[in-house]
Amino acid sequence: RTSTGSDTTDTGGSGTGTGVGFPTDPPKPIRFAEKRPEFPGGDRALVDWLSREIKYPEILKEQKKEGIVYIEFVVSESGKVSDAHILREVRDAPQFTEEAIRAINKMPLWIPGEQNGHKVPVYFALPINFQLR
């Protein structure tokens, strides 16, 4: 009688913790962290970056439309910004929403949030004010 070895093959389901073939679920973002994520250079640098990056939509400029868009996104444990979505938008101004999401998705790496001394993904909400000057 010969063995094919199939009865000794480790499929990863034995609970040994090898993780072969089973991706680990990423940690779920939290709402509040002991140390919140921070834009490199702080809040002033964030405001400066947004003012350089955000382009006022021409059609809304012509209509003299203004307003605040509230965006929420996740700052991962590596500082990467992802999952940007709208919490509140300006009525009849979807261009504000599109521009805010576009800018958020281009952000540089942040300093991650921390909980119990460990870097963790954290939700971050940000108002973006579209105001004519």
List the chain pLDDT tens, one digit each, 133 residues.
Answer: 443 443 333 334 444 444 455 567 778 999 999 999 999 999 999 999 999 999 999 999 999 999 999 999 999 999 999 999 999 999 999 999 999 999 999 999 999 999 999 999 999 999 999 999 8
Strand boundaries in 28-80, DSSP class E:
67-75
Q: What is the pLDDT of residue 25?
A: 77
Q: What is the pTM of this model?
A: 0.78
The gap between the terminal CA atoms of the chain, to the nearest Å, is: 87
Q: What is the pLDDT of residue 16?
A: 44
Q: Residue with structure tokens 């990863």?
A: 12
Residues ≥6 apart with Cβ < 8 Å to 103: 50, 53, 54, 128
Are 32 and 121 a contacting pair, CB within 8 Å?
A: no
Q: Residue with structure tokens 């991650």?
A: 112
State how far the alpha carbon of 44 is from the alpha carbons of 25, 39, 47, 48, 49, in Å.
Answer: 35, 9, 5, 6, 9
Q: What is the pLDDT of residue 9?
A: 35
What does the alpha-carbon distance between residue 41 and residue 54 come to, in Å, rounded to a whole number? 18
Q: What is the pLDDT of residue 130?
A: 96
Q: What is the pLDDT of residue 10?
A: 37
111 CB burial (10 A radius; 0-12, 13-18, 19+): middle
